[in-house]
Structures are given as C-alpha cells and as structure tokens.
C-alpha cells in the first residue's frame, strides 16, 4: 500500500507522470491498429452468433448422465434431424444445442431425447428460441445504444463541453469495437448475455471517462489566466492525478466480474453468467484503457485547436523560451511552489472556499493573472 500510496502522492504532485498527451500519437496509432484488426476480424471471421440469434433449442440436463457426448450428439441428431452440438458441463450435465428447429417441434424432440437419455422430460431444461427473437434483442440493443449515445453526448455537452462529449463518444465506440472485435477474433459465442455485458460497458466505460473529465474540467478552470501550462500539460496532469483512482476503480470493477467469470465458467460451465461476465471483462479493460489513453488526449487535441488555447500555448512557449534564455536554474526553483499555487488556485475558482485564493493574493502574485 505504501508503495502505491507514495506512487499516488508522486503522481499527485506531478513529480512523476507519464506523458499521456504528448505521446498520444503512439496510443492513437495503437488504438487505430487494434480497431482495424477488430473490424477486419469482424468482416472476415464474423461473429459466432449463439443459438439465440439463429433460432433453435438448447436442452440442458442437470443430473449426471451415463450417456457420452458423442452418443448424445447422435441422439439429438436423430431426434431433430438437425446438427447438434453437445457440451459436457462442469456439474456432469449435458448441454445440447440444436440450431434451426422450430419452436413447435421442440416438445417432440425433447421427449424423444428424454427417452434416449433415460431421463424424465420434466427434468430437462429447454430454451427454445424463434429465429427472430435474437434479432429483436439485437435490434433493441442497437436502438438503446443509439439513444444512449445521443443522450450522453447531449448530457456531456451540457455538463462539460462538446469537445469532451465527442471524445467520450469516440472512446465509447472504440471500446465497443474492440470488444466486438475480440469476440470475432477469438470466436466466443455471442448470446443475449453478451449483449447485456456489452451494453453495461456503455455505462462503465463512460463512468471512467467522466471521472477523468471531471478532474480535467476542474483543473483547467481559469487556464487562460496563467502562462505556465498549456492545456495539454494540464490534461496530462489530470490523467496522472486520477491514475491511481482509475487503476483502483478498474481493479474493483474487475474483481466481482472475475468472480462471476470464475463461477460462471468454472461451476456452471456455460450460460448467462459466463456470457455477461466475459464481455464485461473485455469491455472494462478496454474502457479503462480508452479513458486514459484515448479520451483525454483527444480532448486536449480538440482543445488545442481553439484560438484561445492556441494563444495560451504561444504565451506559454514564449515564457518557457524566455526562462530558458535567462537561465536553466530558474525553472526548478520556481516550478514547485508555483505548481502548488496552481493546485490551490483551482478550487478557489470552483468551490466556495476563497481563502486559498486570497492567500495566494497575499503572497504577492498579481491576482488578475488568474482571475
């Protein structure tokens, strides 16, 4: 803890820090590369849509059966006249998937299977899905996604500003593309559970991004009133100062999901728990990455195009050049207290506490410079 704690402290003070914004081109490149791979995977391999999206039946037995997987496959094929996929579950039961059968025929198949497997038909779980049901779920999910994106962009544009809204949206699309791409590349089965997981990423990915943006917004208030930092510098620092939180959040979010994944995959073998947690796991990781490496640098990029910020950058660079010209030694001396000032000054603008601002005024810095 203490190591992380000190790391947190050093990140907080800006003593150490990764130049996220400065090296953004690298991360953009990586992201574009991943996205292209994901899209390629999607177009070339396509998604492995589960039975819920094709229509068909999934029969699950819970009790241990003496019938082997291959035998069960033969039984299922005889009973249905369609290809069947049989999996052995962690608890000794069988999961029999038959694609392309109609919902009305399933009862007969179920009974035939029950006799073949020597089981009570009431003891077999059946999940029968019409071919359009999966489409309906997927369509509704897309609809929800679209509505959510529009609302979130509006909300973020009001709560923050449109540049942040756009950056958040890009990050969101990025996360979803990566998750879907991984599903295509690895060939995980896509089920309604996956869709649920994917949709949850929406909230979570933005949740992360929003926290970083919140810090960014706070730290960049009154940025034009000073000449020491460009927008990108401040953006970088806000990422770094929330880095510990971002890591903690991601870890804390991933832990329960990992629990789900372990139980879903390890004990139940397959099913809803597993599907949801798998897509969540992938999506959360992508979300944490994108909020740090994509969203904020993107905001910085967009912001730096603003004339005000351009002017600021010019002033800052001029000042730095001047400082460099007058002497290297000047910089380290001033940097620490002034950094401290800046940290203190921000809440003065944000919040109700005017003491710090007045204090720094007392210290002799022309207050007009800041606000």
Partner 1 sequence: MAWPSTRSPGAGRPEREYEKVAAPKKGRNASAQSRPGRSLALILIAIAALTGGMFASGQTTPRLGIDLAGGTSITLTAQNEPGQPNAINKTNMDTAVDIMNRRVNGLGVSEAEVQTQGSDNIIVNIPRGTNSKQAREQVGTTAKLYFRPVLATDVSGGKASATPSPSASSSSSATTGDKATSSSSSSATPSASATTQGRVVSDALKAGSSPSASSTPSTSASASSSAAPSASAGTDPAAAKLQAQYATLDCTNKAVRAKAGTGAKSTDPTVACGQDKNSSGQWQKYILGPAEVAGTDVKKSGAVFDTQTGAGWKVTMDFTSGGSKKFAAITGKLAQNQPPQNQFAIVLDGQVVSDPSVAQSLSGSAEISGSFTQTEAQDLANMLNYGALPLTFHESSVTTVTAALGGEQLHAGLIAGAIGLALVIIYLVIYYRGLSIIAIASLGVSAILTYVLMALLGPAIGFALNLPAVCGAIVAIGITADSFIVFFERIRDEIREGRTLRPAVERAWPRARRTILVSDFVSFLAAAVLFIVTVGKVQGFAFTLGLTTVLDVVVVFFFTKPLMTILARKKFFAEGHSWSGLDPKRLGAKPPLRRTRRASAPVDTKEA
The structure tokens listed for 133 are: 């049901």
* Interface with partner 1, residue 350, by CB under 8 A: yes
Distance of closest approach, residue 84 Cβ to partner 1, in angstroms: 18
**Helices and strands, counts by H and E, the chain:** 15, 6
Distance of closest approach, residue 334 Cβ to partner 1, in angstroms: 14
Contact range with partner 1 by CB under 8 A, out of 24-32, 77-85, 236-244, 319-327: 236-244
Q: Which residue, chain included where needed, has tokens 């944490």?
A: 288
Q: Which residues contact 230 (CB under 8 A, 6 or more apart)?
A: 304, 309, 312, 313, 316, 317
Torsion of CA 162, 164, 169, 170, to 10 degrees: 120
Select the residue interacting with partner 1 from 43, 104, 325, 366 (CB under 8 A).
104
Crossing angle, helix 231-241 and helix 2-13, to 10 degrees? 160
Residues 1-20 close enough to bind partner 1 by CB under 8 A: 1-2, 4-6, 8-10, 12-13
Residues 113-132 close enough to bind partner 1 by CB under 8 A: 122-130, 132
Contact range with partner 1 by CB under 8 A, out of 21-29, 175-183, 231-239, 264-272: 264-272
Contact range with partner 1 by CB under 8 A, out of 67-75, 99-107, 229-237, 312-320: 99-107
* Interface with partner 1, residue 347, by CB under 8 A: yes
Phi, psi of 222 (to 5 degrees): 70, 25
By C-beta, is 116 or 343 nearer to partner 1?
Answer: 343
Distance of closest approach, residue 333 Cβ to partner 1, in angstroms: 13
Residues 175-234 close enough to bind partner 1 by CB under 8 A: 192-193, 195-196, 199-200, 202-204, 206-207, 210-211, 214-215, 218
Select the residue interacting with partner 1 from 255, 317, 318, 330 (CB under 8 A).
255
* Interface with partner 1, residue 335, by CB under 8 A: no
* Interface with partner 1, residue 42, by CB under 8 A: no
Distance of closest approach, residue 331 Cβ to partner 1, in angstroms: 18
By C-beta, is 22 or 92 nearer to partner 1?
Answer: 92
By C-beta, is 36 or 350 nearer to partner 1?
Answer: 350
Of 171, 160, 172, give the one whose Cα is nearest residue 296.
171
Contact range with partner 1 by CB under 8 A, out of 38-46, 65-73, 101-109, 298-306: 101-109
C-alpha angle 76/78/83, rounded to 5°?
60
Could you tell me if 356 and 348 are in contact, meaning their C-beta atoms sit under 8 angstroms apart? yes
The structure tokens listed for 44 are: 């070339």
- 336 three-class SS: helix
Could you tell me if 86 and 73 are in contact, meaning their C-beta atoms sit under 8 angstroms apart? yes
Please count the residues of this chain forming the interface with partner 1, following the rule CB under 8 A: 100
* Interface with partner 1, residue 28, by CB under 8 A: no
The whole-angstrom separation of Cα 62 and Cα 320 is 71
Residues 145-184 close enough to bind partner 1 by CB under 8 A: 147-148, 151-152, 155, 159
The whole-angstrom separation of Cα 2 and Cα 299 is 33
The whole-angstrom separation of Cα 74 and Cα 322 is 82
Select the residue interacting with partner 1 from 66, 328, 329, 363 (CB under 8 A).
363
The structure tokens listed for 338 are: 């002034």
* Interface with partner 1, residue 244, by CB under 8 A: yes
Q: Which residues contact 280 (CB under 8 A, 6 or more apart)?
A: 197, 200, 201, 204, 257, 260
Residues 265-324 close enough to bind partner 1 by CB under 8 A: 267-268, 271-273, 276-277, 280
Could you tell me if 171 and 246 are in contact, meaning their C-beta atoms sit under 8 angstroms apart? no
Contact range with partner 1 by CB under 8 A, out of 31-39, 70-78, 314-322, 338-346: 338-346
Contact range with partner 1 by CB under 8 A, out of 38-46, 72-80, 321-329, 359-367: 359-367
By C-beta, is 41 or 192 nearer to partner 1?
Answer: 192
CA atoms within 13 A on the CB side of 119: 23
């Amino acid at each position: 803890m203490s190591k992380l704690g000190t790391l947190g402290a050093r990140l907080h003070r800006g003593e150490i820090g990764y130049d996220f914004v400065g090296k953004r081109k690298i991360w953009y490149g990586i992201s574009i590369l991943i996205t292209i791979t994901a899209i390629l995977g999607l177009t070339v391999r396509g998604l492995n849509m589960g039975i819920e999206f094709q229509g068909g039946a999934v029969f699950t037995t819970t009790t241990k059966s003496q019938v082997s997987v291959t035998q069960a496959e033969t039984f299922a094929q005889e009973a249905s006249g369609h290809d069947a996929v049989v999996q052995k579950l962690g608890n000794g039961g069988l999961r029999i998937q038959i694609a392309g059968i109609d919902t009305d025929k399933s009862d007969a198949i179920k009974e035939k299977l029950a006799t073949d497997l020597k089981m009570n038909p009431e003891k077999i779980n059946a999940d029968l899905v019409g071919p359009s049901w999966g489409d309906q779920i997927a369509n509704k999910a897309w609809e929800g996604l679209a509505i959510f994106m529009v609302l979130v962009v509006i909300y973020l544009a009001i709560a923050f500003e449109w540049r942040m809204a756009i950056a958040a949206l890009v990050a969101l699309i990025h996360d979803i593309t990566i998750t879907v791409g991984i599903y295509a590349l690895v060939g995980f089965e896509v089920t309604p559970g996956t869709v649920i997981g994917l949709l949850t990423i929406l909230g979570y990915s933005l949740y992360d991004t929003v926290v970083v943006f919140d810090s960014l917004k706070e730290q960049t208030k009154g940025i034009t009133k000073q000449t020491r930092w460009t927008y990108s510098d401040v953006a970088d620092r806000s990422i770094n100062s929330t880095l510990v939180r971002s890591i903690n959040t991601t870890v804390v979010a991933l832990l329960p999901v990992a629990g789900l994944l372990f139980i879903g995959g390890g004990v139940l073998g397959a099913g809803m728990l597993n599907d949801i947690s798998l897509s969540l796991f992938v999506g959360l990781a992508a979300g944490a990455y994108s909020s740090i490496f994509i969203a904020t640098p993107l905001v910085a990029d967009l912001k730096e195009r603003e004339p005000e910020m351009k002017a600021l950058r010019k002033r800052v660079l001029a000042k730095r050049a001047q400082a460099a010209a007058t002497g290297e030694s000047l910089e380290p001396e001033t940097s620490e207290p002034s950094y401290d000032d800046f940290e203190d000054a921000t809440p003065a603008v944000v919040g109700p506490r005017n003491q710090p601002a007045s204090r720094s005024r007392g210290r002799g810095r022309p207050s007009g410079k800041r606000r």
